[in-house]
Chains A and B, each alone.
Chain A
Amino acid sequence: MLVQRVRSGEADAWQELIARFEGRLLAFVEHRTRDHAAAEDVVQETLIGFLTSLPNYDASRSLESYLFSIAAHKLTDHLRREGRRPALPLAAPSGSDPSGWEPHGAARAASSIVRSGERRELEESALAAALGEQIAAYQRRGDWQKLACVELLFVRGWANKDVAARLGLSEQQVANIKFEFVAKIRAAVRRLGLPEDVFPELYEDSP
């Protein structure tokens, strides 16, 4: 396995890993920087970052996703240094919920459900598996329109009416697809014994 060989310090394996991934990383960074030399520097920092963080890398995770996550961080650092990416306040304004994100109803406020990193990772992995199962089912059945619909709703956060207009569906059809998808994911949350209050989107329309 390539990563194991890199961990053992094999120069050939490191060259092979660079050859396999540098092009796509460079394309990712350069698309944003619009500066080839700067993009090469960011990729260089990404590869060094990968080696220095290798003791923390869990090989069950996708290597490509891990490299892209490092590249995104290095790119963000670069854009901050260049003054292109504004710094954010360390804390949200107190006394308000500017995000409008706190779960409604019986769900607890986010501030009261601080969880351990390990617990969060377990919850995330379990939900990713449930989402992946549903997405794979759409792909197997060739339900591309349903997949596109839920992707716009949850990944881009579009409103039902905008999704309907983009995909040539009625708002009722979008609502039905959303209802069916959310019901399946809720069922998975129950089956897996996950806490409901850390996935507020799934319950925000509950009575």
Chain B
Amino acid sequence: MSAILEATDRLLAGPSPAAGSESLAAHNVRLGPMPRVGADLIGTLERSGLLGRGGAGFPVGSKWRSVAERRSGPAVVVANGAEGEPHSSKDRKLMAARPHLVVDGALLAADAVGADELIVYVGADHRAAVAAMGRAIAERASTARVPIRLVEAPVAYISGESSAVVNFINTDDARPTAGPHPRDRGVSGRATLVQNVESLAHAALIARHGEDWYRSAGRGPTSGTALVTISGAIAIPGVYEIDYGTTLGEIVAGAGGATSDIQAVLLGGYFGGWAAVDDLRDLSLDPAMLADRGLSFGCGVIGLLPVERCGVWATSKILDYMAGESARQCGPCIFGLGAIAETTRRVAAGSAAPGDMDNLARWSRQIVGRGACHHPDGAAGLLQGALSVFASEFDLHQQDRRCSRPAATAQGVR
């Protein structure tokens, strides 16, 4: 990736990802053989403060501990590389470049929680990742203590949601369920740990180097490094590894600079939200510091919205996408999110009806927590942030029924 960005290379240390996936031999030479740590790794992870990288940021050690303690009989580990968030590509790039690091982490997890089966769950369309993980699994099959298999999942926004992952593995239906939590009853009815592939890769390094080593990176309250995907009005879009606490300005510079003046940033993906940007240096990409400002690090998506585009249209397109991606199982998501998307589209197009803005505010409050999964919550959060960040633009669209940007550029290509 970029040499300009001052970062502690950890996951992406080693040969350039452009050279393809690191072989098992090279992996073992560079990092040494995978250590045998067992359940002790759980305590190490808890002390390291490693947070999950799937978007929710849940502490990884606690998650492993709850599966290890609650299970009766052997558990199952699923390495979740579904990556349904459209602007995120870090998981598939990681799997394509460092498949053995991911497999290490997954095997260590299986050992730690007492699993006798390991499943690697990858989006079927992500061919490079599928190929790399497939080869890696074949290379490890003879020495791994548990059987490993690859499951190719349909690529959809919610296909990475834990209950959807388990449901697809069990029944070929990639929709979330309302039943017991995977950690209690998951794959084949057994306690299941569903863990993001980047989290597993970090765990694999922590198993080798320890919690103090992990905590030595990071500039602010949150320790460690993370993969981010930067897209939008940026010169060199792609996946970068950063220390937590790096400012947005540094990341943008490290990615070749913005191609235009930036009015807002989409942080954390569609499940995150918009952040108004007056000064790029102001925004410190540390999950705790972002949370204090009501923002979310999420899955590390950084989408730069240039001033030429209209924030209302950008929000409308995202909401249309999220409404389309609904699993169509729960009324509040089907009708509530559907109405939100349709109304926002009307407002964007300059055909706002009286009461539309009040409806948007009411509906986005109403749908939160009323679906079987958190899909409607994400959309509601995105809209609420947009109403704040693009307040004046929404006013213009709703009251004057016009857009401040020329039509073609307002909507943009993405």
The answer to whether A and B interact is no
Binding site for B on A (CB under 8 A): none
